[in-house]
Amino acid sequence: MNKKPKQSDRPVLVTTLNRGVFFGYATKVATDAWERDAEKTTLKLRDGRNCVYWSRECKGFMGLAANGPASGSKVGPAADITLRNITAVLEVTAAAEKLWLGAPWA
């Protein structure tokens, strides 16, 4: 785990029907296919991390994609994962990616 992302991988934040919030790396091909097919409900993430709790300073799950997890957030360790029942896939900024890689667990 924690390998440097491949050039074709993109950092994403994924939410699920069961209110899961995950950060990880998806291949560009996989995310492009997901975007074309509204019925697609699974996506594989490399080095996926689950955000169990995010602090108020994050300003919601979209803030996690834009700014990353803030102090007080709880982010689990990385693991490869296939997510099901996806409700959203968000692009993650470079600044947010650095904070996700720090995996804060307060």
Output the tens digit of pLDDT for each of the chain's 106 residues. Answer: 555 555 578 999 999 999 999 999 998 666 666 666 666 778 899 999 999 999 888 899 999 999 999 988 999 999 999 998 988 899 999 999 999 998 777 6
Give the model's pLDDT for residue 7: 57
User: CB of 78 within 8 A of CB of 44?
Assistant: no
SS3 (DSSP) at 22: strand
- Does the pTM exceed 0.85? no
State the residue for tokens 């982010």: 75
Give the model's pLDDT for residue 50: 95
Domain 9-101 has CATH 2.40.50.140: no
